[in-house]
Amino acid sequence: MIRDTKGTVEYWDEAVDFSERTIDRFTMESLSPSGDPEYRPQFLFEIVKEYYQLMLERYSRGDAPQELAQYFLPLLSFWEDSERLGLTTWTTQQCNTRHSWSLNLDHYIVCFWLVGLALVLDIPGDQWQRLIILIGNDGEDALLDRVIATRQLDRKIGTKVCQASPYARLLKAIEAPPSKQANLLREFVQHWYEELHCSPKRPGLSGATAVYDRPYWYTLGDKQLEDSGYFGRWCIEAVAVAKAFGIDDTLCLDHPNYPGDLLMDGRSPRYPDAVVAEQPSAPARGWLRRLLGN
């Protein structure tokens, strides 16, 4: 019984298998001297990326959420190695562009996802502390800092939302009276995906902003599924807030982007593979292209 009907069970099985094999291959390669030392920090972070995408692929396939926690420990280790090497490789400007929540939408989202997964999966305290050190940006964001502060009591709270579109809506849900929070959480989930796509003329988007006006995964799978690297489109940010602040998420459970089973398995819609719409076939070399593209 799958959770994401964009792919069949065969698609999700192949996606999970491919990610696992890629992680194994990259891990072996990481043990050898690098042919390009300047790229090595980014290469190590590519393994981090493969791990959190694997977690979401497995969730999309219908796997039990508690099985996802096993990936946090290796993910954190590779991220720490990436940051350690980056200190001697990246320029000050590169470090700022990579880590700033205001400048880098992708980084903000990934940090939010990992915090959310850490909260709902209740990772051990030592792993949580390592995650918070890696995330950094203490006191930079009025929303994500609040979420972190529910488990990290000494966390400084920022005064503005670094990525106001769409996340100002989620802050509004947190700050609303309890009687209005459920509806506002649903409203955020409804607008989350469409509002992540920013126009190049969006206020605050400038030449200093990191590369893209939308997340790197935003259109994955839209044109052709099999070789796209699509791993699901899950609004983990909403489930993180529901967990952190005890907001009733019942109104969100039927939304196709809301991963309600992360809070308690068996609540979100599940689908037998037989009812999944047939996806356009891609040549077998599609997965090879994805492998070489990594």
Show Cβ contacts of residue 122 under 8 Å, excluding neighbours closer than 6 positions. 69
Contact at 8 Å (CB) between 229 and 13? no
Give ∠ CA 82-231-250 in degrees, rounded to 5. Answer: 110
Contacts by 188-191, CB closer than 8 A, 24 or more apart: 188/235, 188/238, 189/235, 189/238, 189/252, 189/255, 189/257, 189/258, 190/255, 191/166
- Report CA-CA distances (Å) from 115 to 84, 131, 175, 238, 277: 21, 8, 20, 12, 33
Other CB atoms closer than 10 Å to residue 293's CB: what's the count? 8
Predicted local confidence at residue 160, as pLDDT: 97
Answer yes or no: are the C-beta atoms of 119 and 240 closer than 8 Å. Answer: yes
pLDDT number for residue 75: 98
User: Residue 271 forms beta bridges with which residues?
Assistant: 2
Q: Are 161 and 146 in contact (CB under 8 A)?
A: no
Q: How far apart are CA 69 and CA 72, in angstroms?
A: 6
Residue keyed to tokens 């807030």: 241
Whole-number Å distance between alpha carbons of 118 and 272? 29
Distance from C-alpha of 162 to C-alpha of 209, rounded to nearest angstrom: 12
* Tokens matching residue 169: 């809506």
**223 in Cβ contact with 156 (< 8 Å):** no
Q: What is the pLDDT of residue 275?
A: 53
Q: What is the model's pLDDT at position 187?
A: 98
SS3 for 1-33 is CECCCCCCHHHHHHHHHHHHHHHHHHHHHHCCC
**What is the tens place of the pLDDT at every residue in 224-239?**
998 899 999 999 999 9
Q: Which residue ranges of the chain lie beneath pLDDT 70? A: 198-212, 274-294
pLDDT at 212: 62
